[in-house]
Amino acid sequence: MEIKIAENAGFCFGVMRALNIAKKVRNESDDDVYTFGPLIHNMQAVKKMEEEGIHPIYNFSDINPPAKIIIRSHGVPPQTVEEAEKRGFDVIDATCPFVRRVQKFAMELKNEGYRVIVFGDDEHPEVKGIIGYADGKAETMNLKHTPIFNANEKIGLVSQTTQSVKGFIKAVGYVVERVQEAKIYNTICSATYLRQKSTEDLGKQVEIMIVVGGKMSANTGRLAEISRSQGCETHHIEVSGELKREWFIGKENVGVTAGASTPTWIIEDVIKSIKKII
């Protein structure tokens, strides 16, 4: 059986940058170091960081200053940073520059009088952060929630960076069919686009696809959806221990792809395990 690896898979620029910032802060500071939420949506990587002294927190009230708090690549609403600083914490911002760009557009659109729409998942932290930059006045658009527009409204549309390009094209079509004035920013990041495209291409070539990455990771989940849409049997796993021998019986080729928050060592371990199984 042949194993084919997606051309673009695994850690993206923004995740690598956030990890490097966190490690640098840990190495250079005597204070306790925390991330506000898990730095990346990968349990195994977060566990490794905890061993190195970088711990996720979910409420500022759980810790006391002095401490360093790292804002993860997804970003947060500006009010969250203000609250942490008011409590006396030293805040280090590791928001990905591509996410920062969406936050800036959302703020500008709101200030220019547009009704701001974020094509994204209601509960995703990146989306909550973007909405915060529009003073909490932006709304989401997704499969569960489709806003109703009046033809004379000014609509400003941005996307969560990890959404699917095809989904965003549909959202754009929905907006322009209904209103006369729309300002649209394509804010899907290039790392996301390349991972989705590579998965789509690979999905056409293989019978079975192993998608590696956190079950909480939105971008990894999207890769699994894209792979399934290509008609190939798809299994989304976090670690090699979840692989099952029966998946590979009778197959001639297998594809491996991974989300932007999946560390290289986990991908390599999965490939090694597949080689042992087949």
Q: Check binding of 70 to ligand SF4 (CB under 6 A).
A: no
Structure tokens that stand for 57 in this block = 């927190």
- Residue type for position 246: E
Give 105's Cβ-side CA count (13 Å radius): 23
- Residue type for position 63: I
SS3 percent helix, strand, coil of the chain, rounded to 5, is 45, 20, 35
Three-class secondary structure of residue 256 per DSSP? strand
* 105-144 residues near ligand SF4, rule: CB under 6 A: none
* Burial classification of residue 132, based on how many CB atoms lie within 10 Å of its CB (0-12 exposed, 13-18 middle, 19 or more buried): buried
Q: Nearer to ligand SF4 by C-beta: 267 or 274?
A: 267
Query: Residues for the chain: how many in total?
Result: 278
Give me the least distance between CB of 163 and ligand SF4, in Å please: 11
| Region binding ligand SF4 by CB under 6 A among candidate stretches 10-18, 106-114, 115-123, 205-213 | 10-18
Q: Check binding of 13 to ligand SF4 (CB under 6 A).
A: yes
Residue in 80, 162, 234, 257 binding ligand SF4, rule: CB under 6 A: 162
Provide the mask over 211-250, with x wherever binding to ligand SF4 is found by CB under 6 A and - wherever it is not. Answer: --------x-------------------------------
Please answer whether residues 33 and 53 qualify as being in contact, where contact means their C-beta atoms are separated by less than 8 angstroms: yes
Provide the mask over 21-60, with x wherever binding to ligand SF4 is found by CB under 6 A and - wherever it is not. Answer: ----------------------------------------
Active-site amino acid positions: 126
Q: Which residue has the tokens 């701001």?
A: 116
Distance from C-alpha of 164 to C-alpha of 120, rounded to nearest angstrom: 10
Which residue is nearest to ligand SF4, using beta carbons?
Answer: 14
Residue in 84, 157, 191, 209 binding ligand SF4, rule: CB under 6 A: 191
Residue in 76, 81, 189, 209 binding ligand SF4, rule: CB under 6 A: 189
Q: Check binding of 192 to ligand SF4 (CB under 6 A).
A: yes
Please answer whether residues 134 and 117 qualify as being in contact, where contact means their C-beta atoms are separated by less than 8 angstroms: no
* 72-91 residues near ligand SF4, rule: CB under 6 A: 73
Structure tokens that stand for 206 in this block = 């293989």
* Radius of gyration of the chain, Cα coordinates, nearest whole angstrom: 20
What values do phi and psi take at 33, rounded to 5?
-120, 125
Q: Check binding of 15 to ligand SF4 (CB under 6 A).
A: yes
Q: Check binding of 187 to ligand SF4 (CB under 6 A).
A: no
| Region binding ligand SF4 by CB under 6 A among candidate stretches 30-38, 48-56, 92-100, 143-151 | 92-100
Interface residues with ligand SF4 (CB under 6 A) are: 12-15, 73, 96, 98-99, 161-162, 189, 191-192, 219, 260
